Amino acid sequence: MKYSREVKTALLAIIAIVILIFGYSFLKGENLLDNSRTFYAVYDDVEGLSPSSEVTINGLKVGKITSIDFLNRKGDLIVTFTVKNDFRFSKNSEAQIYGGGIIGGKTLAIVPKYDENVGLAKSGDTLAGGKEEGIMELVNDRLTPLQNKLEGTIVSADSMLTAINQILDDSTRNNIRGTFKNLDATVASFKVTANELQGLVQGNSEKLDRTFTNLDEMSTNFNKFSDTLTNMNINQITSDLEKVIADFEAVSNKLNNGDGTAAKLINDDAVYNNLDRATKQLEELLQDVKLNPKRYVHFSVFGKNPGEYDPPKDSLK
């Protein structure tokens, strides 16, 4: 069967028009043979969401965004997106904008809910819109307080530098230079002193060794003495001291009460007077012996009588 030139031309034109339509739709991100369902979601701000962005369920791509347009004069935005027929979810599911990294853009994720009382979502339904903070929002939230603190720190540092510049005038700088010079001289003096001290120590190292040896021996002896004190029966010594004190107290009480010979010697005046008379008589006897020794000691070969008695002088009157 032969076709005329006009028929062939018409067929080629029709094929070209179809290819053009499919190609244009493909460039727009649309597939005319796709039987996906179409849904809508309303947002006050899409935050970087763009047409042809992915639509995911649990991280799996199930569709894409076809268009974003203004819904009303208030500035609300309506997002149109498609979802494959293989995924079922209820009408109360949420279309949530999330993501937004440094390189990638926003993505629309469907948070599916399976509520039998509500029913499954159908093509043309409007889902509830929601937002999730992405990396940039989280970074911005974390960096904003840090930025405020950094700005405050810079302001404080600037104020401090200004105050330092006001304080460090020419006279103050000269004083600081003089202080460092004096400090340098002091360090040099300490260095000389340290050298002298080192020489002193080196020259008397033997004496220092003997001194430390003696100290070590003293410490050893002290430890032995301490051990001796530790081994002593302190309780027994205390008991003996208490007994001695009690005995002294008993003797003192007896002396005060006049019991015994010693108490009478201390407390009785008659005993004292008798002792005083006996002492005087003994002194008179000794004086008489000195004045008349022949009366008491006599050696006579021829039996001569002793001389006359010479009474002693009363020197105690």
Residues 43 and 110 in one domain: yes
What pTM did the predictor assign?
A: 0.38
Q: What is d(CA 192, CA 188) in angstroms, rounded to the nearest whole number?
A: 6
Determine the pLDDT at residue 30: 58
Residue 288 in domain? no
- Is 104 a domain residue? yes
- 6-15, 57-66, 240-249, 303-312: which range is least confident on average? 303-312
How many whole angstroms separate alpha carbon 51 and alpha carbon 30?
A: 11
Residue with tokens 């070590």: 216
pLDDT of the residue at 40: 94
Residue 47 has pLDDT above 60, yes or no: yes
- 238 assigned to some structural domain: no
The reported pLDDT for the residue numbered 305 is 55
Q: Which domain holds residue 10?
A: 1-33
pLDDT-derived band at 12 (thresholds 50, 70, 90) equals confident
Among 137, 155, 177, identify where a domain stops: 137
260-267 helix and 234-257 helix, angle to the nearest 10 degrees = 50
pLDDT at 253: 77
Q: What's CA 254's distance to the chain center, in Å?
A: 71
b/e map of 207-223 (b: 16 or more CB within 10 Å)?
eeeeeeeeeeeeeeeee
Amino acid at 97: I
The two tokens of residue 102 are: 């440094």
Determine the pLDDT at residue 317: 45
Residues 26 and 49 in one domain: no
The answer to whether position 73 is within a domain reads yes
- For the chain, what is the domain count? 2
Q: Are 130 and 107 in contact (CB under 8 A)?
A: no
In a domain, 157, yes or no: no
Does 57 lie in the same domain as 15? no
- Please give the residue that has the higher pLDDT: either 194 or 101: 194
Summarize the confidence of residues 44-51 as an average pLDDT: 84
Rg (CA), the chain: 65
Contact 295, 309 (CB under 8 A): yes
Sorting pLDDT into bands at 50, 70 and 90, what band is 316?
very low
pLDDT on residue 134: 57
Among the candidates 84, 105, 137, a domain finishes at: 137
Does 128 lie in the same domain as 74?
yes
Most confident residue range from 26-40, 75-89, 98-112: 75-89
Q: Which of 105, 137, 169 is the C-terminal boundary of a domain?
A: 137
